[in-house]
Amino acid sequence: MLKVIALLGLLLISLVSATDTSRIRIINAIPSSLPVDISINGLTTFPLLQSGSISNYFVLENYVTQAFLNVTAINGFLLTTLQVSIIPGNSYTIALSGDTKSISTNVLLDDDRAVAKGFGAIRFVNLAGFSPIDVLLRTKDNKETTLFSKVSYNQATPYSKVSVGVYDFGIKLFEGMIVPALANIPITRSVSTIFLVGGADKSKIKVVLALDRV
């Protein structure tokens, strides 16, 4: 009986610990900006986050339901603050875009659930200064499909299932110009987000692929 009680106790502890932690990561999509420092709840969590870069996840424990973010320039000047409501057990991406004088923030709920066998899941987030945008997917035998269409600035698409395989991705701008984005990307049974970052200069468009769940 004592062994059964002990096992039940361990099970309850594991269930609590699995649901009372949350994860937050930051993508710096402010074009041509200097690195910024990100602090979460008073702790400098991501120092010198470069423009066009995404951080690793930062884990919030002990059933935290609020996160207070400060975005600071390297000279110590406070650029913006943000208060984020959090549901414990979830993962979030906070996207910084716009410019350093007027930073836009977009809080995205990341999906880290398991994917059906034989599929991966992908979403697209348009953080560049172009709208609308299509995302093209091309197989190795040159079959091309539109994965997402007419994605506006600061919009995040729902996740879309993609068969496991190797693909090329392209970005089609509103005037018909196609920008090669990612080549020979293996899609496994994982969950990913494609971020498009950049400003008015099309030559400086950058695509960032991040895993939400391995």
pTM for this predicted structure: 0.85
Note if the bond before 31 is cis, omega within 30 degrees: no
- In a 3-state reduction of DSSP, which class is residue 117? coil
Cβ neighbours around 147 below 10 Å, total: 20
What span, in angstroms and rounded, lies between the C-alpha atoms of 142 and 144? 6
Tell me which of 133 and 199 has the higher pLDDT: 133
What's the rounded mean pLDDT across residues 145-171? 93
Query: For residues 6 and 25, what is the distance between their CA atoms, to the nearest angstrom?
Result: 36
Residue (of 133, 119, 121) closest to 177 by Cα position = 133
Percent of the chain with pLDDT over 90: 53
Residue 211 CA to chain centroid, in angstroms? Answer: 8
Mean of the per-residue pLDDT values for the chain?
Answer: 85
List, in order of start, the domains of the chain with CATH numbers.
20-110 (2.60.40.2890), 114-214 (2.60.40.2890)
Q: What is the pLDDT of residue 92?
A: 95
CA distance 125 to 54: 13
Coil, strand or helix at 1: coil
Amino acid at 147: L
Q: How confident is the model at residue 191 (pLDDT cuts 50, 70, 90)?
A: very high
- What are φ and ψ of residue 62, in 5° steps? 60, 40
DSSP letter string over 55-81?
PPPEEE-SS--EEEEEEEETTS-EEEE
Got the DSSP string for 128-188?
Answer: ES--SEEEEEE-TT--EEEEEEEEPTT-BPPPEEEESEEEEEEEE-TTS-EEEEEEEEEE-
Across residues 143-148, what is the average pLDDT? 92
pLDDT of 61-111, one tens digit each?
888 899 999 999 988 899 999 999 999 999 999 999 888 888 889 999 998
